[in-house]
Structure 1
Amino acid sequence: MTTSAEHPQHPHAAPTLIATAEQKIVDAAITSRRSIRAFLPTPVPREEIEKILEVAARAPSGTNTQPWKVYVLTGQVKQQLSDEIIKTHNDPALASQHTEHYHYYPRQWSSPYIDRRRKVGWDLYALLELTRDNKSGMHAQHGRNYRFFDAPVGLIFTIDRVMEQGSWLDYGMFLQNIMVAARGRGLDTCPQAAFTQYHKIIGQVLQLPDNEMVVCGMSLGYADLERIENSLITERESVPGFVKFMD
């Protein structure tokens, strides 16, 4: 006799409420994903990175356009990019000359989005004992984005400028695949929109072609679980809060 874990259900069979081993593994990879903000220096083998990206590339995309382009940064190149961005980030006059390619966040905030944004920010700063009047401390913490939070691997994602909104939806699924595939290998990530402000510097250092624009960055490595900031677990709305079942 075989079990449902050994063979997939018939496509028209009623779904089982008993989680199979495969379901538990997938669920664990998804639900254990967090934005990690402090990494160990432990190197990640190139073949592991390649396998993660190979798996992630199975993400769906409209008519199989596969709009993603990835720059994997380690060693000297990663250090150079970090140094260039941080030098600008720490100079208000220089930083003011750099703006995002696209609006990641709303131009006009409203509830509940602004409330969630504020909560996660102050929850993180509370863990780090950064008070509202410690502007320099908050600036320094934000600047850690540009060190990829000391992760051994930094990823920069770009997209061809001709691609439209649908391709950005596809891109999100690709990014999620990377983060889930990383968790399946005991690795952690932090997706980072913070890099978009300095797309001009990124373009210069990485010698990006003119037709590519920066989507975001991402840190990849092994989490330093002794660092207090990595204890942050963000809240999520319950299913009834964002779903309507309609018969």
Structure 2
Amino acid sequence: MSLNPPSSATESPIDAASVDTAITSRMSVRAFLPQPVPRETIEHLLQLASRAPSGTNTQPWKVYVLQGASRDTLVEKCCAAHDALRADPSLASEYREEYDYYPEKWVSPYIDRRRENGWGLYGLLGITKGDKDKMHAQHQRNFRFFDAPVGFMFTIDRVMGRGSLMDYGMFMQNLMVAARGHGLHTCPQAAWNGFAKIILPHIGAGDNEMLVCGMSLGYADPADKVNTFITPREPVESFTHWLT
């Protein structure tokens, strides 16, 4: 299905309520149904996502779609590495992220929000502090794409600057919001980044490519209680400064 670009800057918004709903209903789903997603649908979502803005229209995104055997084999490789890392923490030096997603030093209010997120999720799942087995198993759900039938790996050319990562975020947000319009859900995942040395050769990425993150795509499992976990958002007045 082809899409027509905007005809002009004066084109009127269409069905604002549906756009609002697509944005507000987006969440990080952590349990998916095995129901397959047609290739045509995935292609359509990616074409929609490609309308994201980027500095001087550089369009720095490169997407790898994993389904079937390619998906399952990557899951096996990364789950095995995750288990090995737990058994031998000294292997951590082999599995490092290529860029810092999180800060080296956490400060308030960010550490407070992070803790609230962790306590909320693990509390819902009945995972108590110190229960390392359950924590490991839940973390490994990332490397199973939360059972989603479709996995994405996003890469970027290493020559690009920091601004291109901002462009990439807008591309991914377009993809996630577009997915909601088609009854699908997603989960963007930086958890994969530490296993780039496994992922990049698996997907056939070039030496010039850096892993940005992964993402799960599929139909949410409405029966799994993990999907009742909704993260809060700060009110507008807490992060907005009006200058007149």
Please report the TM-score for the alignment, with normalisation by the length of structure 2: 0.92
Unaligned runs of 5+ in 1: 1-9, 12-19
Cα drift, residue 211 of structure 1: 0.4
Counterpart residue number, 1:70? 63
Indicate the residue corresponding to 1:17 in structure 2: none
**Match in the other structure for 2:3:** none
How far off its partner does 1:213 sit? 0.6
Letter in 2 for 1:29: A
- Contact 1:88–1:95 (CA<8 Å) still a contact in 2? no
Structure 1 stretches of at least 4 aligned residues deviating more than 3 Å after TM superposition: none
TM-score when normalising by structure 1: 0.91
- Match of 2:185? 188
- Bigger Cα Rg: 1
Deviation at 1:207, TM superposition (A): 2.0
Q: What does residue 115 of structure 1 align with?
A: 112
State yes or no: 1:104 paired with 2:101: yes
Alpha-carbon deviation of 1:23? 1.1
> What is the CA deviation profile of residues 118-151 of structure 1, one whole-angstrom value per residue up to 9, with x for unaligned ones?
1111100011100002111001100110010000
Identity %: 57
User: Take 1:225 and 1:215, find their aligned partners in 2: how far apart are those partners?
Assistant: 29
The match for 1:153 among 142, 150, 154 is 150
- 2:123 matched residue in structure 1: 126
What secondary structure is seen at the aligned counterpart in 1 of 2:18? Answer: helix
CA distance in 1: counterparts of 2:115 and 2:148, whole angstroms: 26
Question: Which residue identity does 1:210 align to in structure 2?
Answer: D
| 1:138-169 Cα deviation digits (max 9, x unpaired) | 01100110010000000000000000011111
Q: Which residue of 1 aligns with 2:79?
A: 86
User: Does the residue aligned with 2:40 lie in a helix, a strand or coil?
Assistant: helix
Task: Give the number of equivalent residue pairs.
Answer: 230
Contact 1:188–1:223 (Cα < 8 Å) also in 2: yes
**Structure 1 position 61 matched with structure 2 position 45:** no
Within the alignment, does 1:49 sit opposite 2:42 as a pair? yes
Aligned partner of residue 63 in structure 2, secondary structure: strand
CA contact (8 A) 1:89 1:95 kept: no
